[in-house]
Structure formats: C-alpha cells, structure tokens
Structure 1
Amino acid sequence: MCLLELKSMTISTDAAMRLCETVRMLRHLAIHLPDPVCLSFLAQGDDPLPEQASPSVRATERAINAAFARIGVRAVQYLHGGEAQLSSFEFFISRKICQALDYRYDHFDDAEEAKAFGRLLKHFDFSGAVPEVETLHLTTRDNVSLSVHASIDRERPAIVLALPCGMPFDLCRDWFNALSERFFVVTWETRGLFGSCAAFDQVAVDTEAQVADLISVMNHYQLSTAHLMGICGGAVIALSAAAAHGNRVNSLSLWHGDYNLGDNDLRTAHQQNFEWLMEAAAYDRHEASDLQAMFLDQATLATTPEPIAHVVLYPYVNPELFYRYARLNDALNKTELASRLANITVPTLVVAGDADETTHIGGSRYIAASIDDAVLHVEQDGSHLAFFASTQYSKQTAFRFLEATLQPAVA
C-alpha cells in the first residue's frame, strides 16, 4: 500500500470514528423523532451538492444508516437537495453529520474501509456510558423510574447535583466530571422524561415530587447528608430540598437559578416567555402539540447555542416530551419561594452572571439577600452558556465554597 493510500484510509477511519461519536452525541434527539428521520447531505460554502445517485453517496448513506441503527433508529430517508423540507431537528442532525464527515461523502468507497467501519460499529459504545460514571435505574416510592448517575469514589464528601429540569445528563457531564475530582457526585434525570414512563398522567410532577426524587437518590446511596448544587431550574429543587430537609444538607449552592418571585422586574424576557410557554403547553396535549410545532421551524436554530443544542433541544423534539417538560417546568415556575427561604440555615452560595440573558441577576440577588449569611458571587461575563462552556474556570468558585464548609470550626 502506497503512502497516499495509507493517508487516505487514515482520514476515512477518522471520519468513521467522528460519525459514530456524532451519532452517539445526537442519540437523545434522533431516537425521539417520528419515523422516518429525514436527512440531507449538505455542501460547504460554494461547493456543489454531492451527486445523489453516485456510489460514494450510496455508500455514505449505508454507513449512516448502520450507525443510526445502533441507537435504535431504523427508518432514515434522504432528501437530496431538499434540506428546506427538514424540521429544525433533522436539519441540525444533518449538519452535525456532514460536519463530522468534513462535507465529504467518499469515506466509505473502498471495500477495506467498509469492513473497518463494520468492525468499528460492532465495538463502538453508542450508549454514552463512561467507566468513571455508574448509571442505574432507581425506582422511587411512587413507582417512577429515575436514571441516576454517580461517580466512583464513595469515600469522598457527597454532592447531589440537581440538573436543569428536563435536560439530559450530557449537558452537565463536564461539571459532573469536574466535581468528581474531589467529591462523590450523584445526580438524576428528570422524572417522566427519561427511560420508560408509560403512565405519565399518574405521575406527580410538582416540586415536592422532584425534591422527593433528590431524597430518594440520597437514600439509595445511604447518604445521611450531602452538599446540594442546583443549576437553573434545578436550583429551585435544591433550594426547596434545603428548606424542607435541612438536617440532610451540609451546604447549598445555586447556579444561575431560574426563580419566579412574583416580580417581572426580576425576570428576563426569556424567563417571562418561557413561563408563558410552559403554562400554555401544560394545559393539555393538544395545546402542547400545537406549540411544539413552532419548534419544527429551522429558524429555531438561530437562537439555540450550537455547542449545547444537541441536549437543550431534547424536550422539544416531539409533542409528548414537550407536554411532559411543560408540566414539570410549570410546577417549578409556580413554586412559592419566599416562605422557603427563611427555613434555609445551611451555608449557601448563590451564583449569577452579569451577562446572563437567560435568568435575571436580580432574582439571584433577592435569593442571596433572603437567606441568612448567604454569599452572592457574580461571574464577570457570566451567562448560562458560559457556565456550561467554562467549567474549568467556574469550578474553582465551587471548590472554594465547598472546601470552606468542610473546614472545622475555629473555637
């Protein structure tokens, strides 16, 4: 084999690996789309679109089909030159697949390349599981199955991480990993939105039920106490848990919390719009279906941050998920917080960003001022997106606070 052929095969092998990694990343979206999932091959810049009937394109279709079949998607249809007909979710998936392939559709032409890809598919783990994270399904007292994730070292001080309501674990995986450097970290994905839940209408969706999930996770791991960390809507869950179960809580940290304090001056336009959307969609499935149709428009992607779109779009991907997401978030939005704040007596850190257009810094200021001895930390140029993107910077704030609470009191 000449050097040029070897280099070409290496490039194609790299593309095959990127394809598998991308399909794994997109699994939350793809498996919840209605059949068939429609895709298009896109061109880069002014390059011409690939020839629909070419052997290269057909080989690429077969490779993509095989990768999607590994996550349970078996009906894929290709609309060559028809990207305008794709839903926002299908267009996003198409774009990520094409980026993974470097907008080239000749990686799977060679018979040896095809065989190598087959071997890769056989052994590639599309589940998203990693050795350093234990994942299990926990059945709660009210018979709800929760998807739970835990780090390995159970001898370390424990942190229970309340994720943003309805968001996949993958959104906060970097934060989970960062905290796991020094702590035993456990978290769970929102009830009714992950795993099997055929009887959603019989499932409690209120804040107290979500707090009970947090306690169920603690009980499963036999954690008599833990540090609580809540992100966005998860801040309401962590805050409510600290108020109701103070004897189980060592400290509380609230990050870019989405608080409804009955004052629109403490709510961004995004929060006000989201509150309306969740309340309307929670009314019934018909209303949710009508509203979810808005998110099929590709214009949705213009306001969705690219680095986290594969996870934040998840609860919008079909009408049933959207309805469940709305029910759960509407309950959080309607949670009366003021009376709970006086019941929080543990060390508390409240973090907000001075450039956050998602949640209002004023809400965090109010929360911090209403909890005895709470500390407010404002991140410069901080925002929701920065929180998820700059874990290495923000984790130092978390570590300083947590380790200060672990220091023995000075007599």
Structure 2
Amino acid sequence: MTISTDAATRLCETVRMLRHLAIHLPDPICLSFLAQGSDVAPDQACSSVRATERAVSTAFARIGVKAVQYVHDGEAQLSSFEMFISKKICQALEFAYDHFDDVDSAKDFGRLVRHFDFSGAVPEVETLHLITRDNVALSVHASTERDRPAIVLALPCGMPFDLCRDWFNALSERFFVVTWETRGLFGSCTSFDQLSVDTDAQVGDLINVMNHYGLDSAHLMGICGGAVIALSAAATHTDRVNSLSLWHGDYNLGDDSLRTAHQQNFEWLMESAAVDRNEASDLQALFLDQATLATIPDSIAHAALYPYVNEELFYRYARLNDALNKTELKSRLEQITVPTLVVAGDCDETTHLGGSKHIAESISDALLHVERNGSHLAFFESTQVSKQTAFRFLESTVGSAHLA
C-alpha cells in the first residue's frame, strides 16, 4: 500500500498546529486512537495501528515532545488537553489507521517528516525575539511591507499569535503590521517572579516593539484584553498613536452590570490563581477534566487553551490578566484624543456590550460599532464583515491615498 500523502501531510500540519499545547504538557503525553461515530475502536494489536503510533510519535518528536503513550479503550483516562489532541490527530487521519502500513510508506513518511517545517513560520511573516529594556525576551511578528502605514496589534493577553493569524494576514494586505506575544508566557523566561506584569509593563512592550521597527506613530488595534493595553498606550503615549480600534474589549469598569457572567467568573479565577503557585495549581487541575473544556469552540481551542495547559503557565497567565483586570480606566479614557473605533457584538457572551458602550461614550472622538450576530468567536473566525468594518475605519483615519 502506498502512503496517503494527504493524510501524512495533514498529520504533520495538525502536529504543528498543536505545538503550543503539546510541548507544555507533562511527559508522557497520553493519546488514544478514536473510532468515528458508531464504528468499533481500532485494535491496538493491529500492525497498522502500531505503524500509526510510530508515525504520530515521530511527528511529535519533531516539535520536542519526548514521550507519547497510547491508551486504548481508555479515553476516560485522558486529560481534557490529551483528549483534544487525540481528536485532532484522529480527524487528520480521517479515523483511518492504515496509512503507514508497509516499508515504503514508512520511508516516505520519514522523508516528509524530516523536511516538514513544524515551527509555524511563514515567509510573509518575520518572527524574532526582541529583548526589552527590562531584559524580557518578546516573541515579535511583523509583516514584510514596511513602507505601508503601520498597525500595532495588541493580542488578547496570553494568547498565541496563531489565534489572530488570519486577522494579521488580512491587515497585512494593506498595512505594515507588527505584534508580539505576552511577556513571560512565550519563549524562555526563567525569572518570571522578577518580571513586572502590570499594564504599564505591557504598554512598555508595545512601545519597545514600535521602537525596534522605527515607528514614530501607528494605528493601535486591541483585541479583548489587548484592548486595555492599546487604550492605555493611547492615553500615555499620545504622540505615538494616530488612531485606535478596540475589538470586543474586556473592560473592568467597577460595575458588574457592565460585565458578563463569563467576565465576572474569569476575574475571580485570575485573582484567585494569581495569589500563589499553590492556588494556581489547585485551580488549573480543574481544567484537566474533559467536561470543563467542552464549551471551548473547536476552531480556536488549539490556541485558546494554551495558558491553561500546565500549572506554571496558568499562574503566569493569572498574574498578567489580574493586573489588566485591576487597571483603572476612567482617567486613561479621558486622555485619549485620537479617532477611536469601539467594536462589540450583540451576541457576545464573553464580553459585555455595555462595557464597550461606556468606553465609546468616555472617549471624546470615538465611534461605537455593534456587529450584528457579532461575538468573540465570529471575530476570531475573521469574518468578511468585520474586515470591512476595520478597513472602512482605517481608510477614514489613515487616508485612502496611503492605501492605494
């Protein structure tokens, strides 16, 4: 049997997509090969299944996973993260475990996996590690057309770049776009306890990124918790900001009627886990239960689950988000004078429409745009309607002549 190239490639692509989760799980990662629908689970003693195990382990080894253990007829033993990874791998293989049966198939897959780029890097995006003034290594991403008007994208706090890659790509069609991943949560960081984690430190990261690329000024676009970073930068660095857009922002305005149940629960969770690592460990254990993460949309789970995947990441994530939640916004809003677009969704159960309305009313030159059927998930799926909203505002503030 010849190797199914599509299945082999899909396996590698899926492992690459899952890299943020897999490399931070404790060894060994336990996986199961699942049946589709009412089909009978694959026979663990079957030579095809054994060959598939070897192929999957080989692909995971390329991203640095040291050990994979296969659990047959024991899916209930898997953590929520391991079950999610198992499902994605099985979907990539179309729930068929006979792609790697013979010697030629194994050799072909070996060649593919040796040459496959598991890093997630793409030619159109420059990725580098930037050392900030307080000696923090930031993972920074930039598009290639530096002569275009600049956008600095403030990602949701703690989320990998992959979550917003579609938006980054769309904006890059007309702009020079730069962004970074949250301090202390990506790359090497052995001294987190010495790091500043407050909002001003995260604003400082934004300015460090601008300085690295020689950007005297730029449009700032903030998403969810990144909206607090972007608006804080616009308030404290008024000469560096041309315009501002805030998308589905997570704002704590001291009024629970302006926060969804999700926001209130998240605020409690972050404040509790930020107390110390023991508390964070106890709370992170809740996320190992498969039922706990059943509500995470499948299309974004590979990125959205990242900061929950182990105790240390969760503690760091809590410290950073707790600081954002405690940011005093009123005085900052009064200092923003640039044209501002505030976007919220009328179906968003993650962040409250009322909070965005309050933000828009508190900024002197702000426009509120409420997206019909808009939500966090719709935004991250990068709908065409949302892109059109973004470009209309950017064209009105940057000027259509720059976008020709």
* TM-score, normalising length: structure 2: 0.98
SS in 1 for 2:98: coil
Local SS of the residue matching 2:280? helix
What is the CA–CA distance in structure 2 between the aligned matches of 1:222 and 1:391, rounded to whole Å? 31
Matches within 5 A, 1:184-333: 184-333=176-325
Match of 1:169 among 157, 161, 169: 161
Aligned residue in 1 for 2:328: 336
d(CA) in 1 for partners of 2:66, 2:59: 10
Match of 2:14 in 1: 22
Residue number in structure 2 paired with 1:370: 362
CA shift, 1:114, in A, is 1.0
Gaps of 5+ in 1: none
Contact kept, 8 Å, 1:355 with 1:382, in 2: the verdict is yes
Aligned equivalents of 1:282 and 1:257: distance in 2? 21
Q: Which of the numbers 120, 126, 133 marks the counterpart of 1:134?
A: 126
Question: Shift in Å at residue 408 of structure 1?
Answer: 8.7
Matches of 1:364 and 1:191, distance apart in 2:
26
Name which of 69, 73, 83 aligns with 2:75.
83
What one-letter code is carried by the residue in structure 1 that aligns with 2:165? R
Given residue 244 of structure 2, which amino acid in structure 1 is its aligned partner?
A: L
Secondary structure in structure 1 of the residue aligned to 2:69: strand
Distance 2:270 2:11 in 1: 35
Contact 1:175/1:391, CA 8 A, preserved across alignment: no
Name the counterpart of 2:96: 104
Contact map agreement 2:23 2:64 (CA 8 A) in 1: yes
Shift of 1:141: 0.3
Tell me which residue corresponds to 1:383: 375
Q: Following TM superposition, by how much is the alpha carbon of 1:110 offset from its aligned partner in structure 2, in angstroms?
A: 1.9
User: Retained in 2: the 8 A contact 1:257–1:359?
Assistant: yes
Contact 2:167/2:382 (8 A) holds in 1: no
2:22 counterpart letter in structure 1: A
AA partner of residue 250 (structure 1): N
Q: How many residues align?
A: 401
Give distance in 2, aligned partners of 1:96 and 1:284.
33
- For 2:282 and 2:53, how far apart are their aligned partners in 1? 33
Q: Which amino acid aligns with 2:371?
A: E
Aligned to 1:227, the other structure's residue is in SS state: strand
For structure 2, the 5+ residue unaligned runs are none
Deviation, structure 1 residue 94: 0.4
Q: 1: distance between equivalents of 2:225 and 2:313?
A: 17
**377-386 vs 393-402, which deviates more?**
393-402
Amino acid at match of 2:253: L
8 Å CA contact 1:178, 1:392 repeated in 2? no
Cα distance between partner residues in 2 of 1:237 and 1:268 = 20
Q: Which residue among 83, 86, 94 is the counterpart of 1:94?
A: 86
Secondary structure of the residue aligned to 2:370 is: strand
State the match for 1:71 in structure 2. 63
Q: How far off its partner does 1:46 sit?
A: 1.1
Identity of aligned residues (%): 81
Which letter does structure 2 place at the counterpart of 1:163?
Answer: L
Instruction: Give, in whole Å, the separation in 2 of the partners of 1:306 and 1:80.
Output: 23
State the 1:393 CA deviation: 2.3
Query: What value does the CA root-mean-square deviation take over the aligned residues?
Result: 1.0
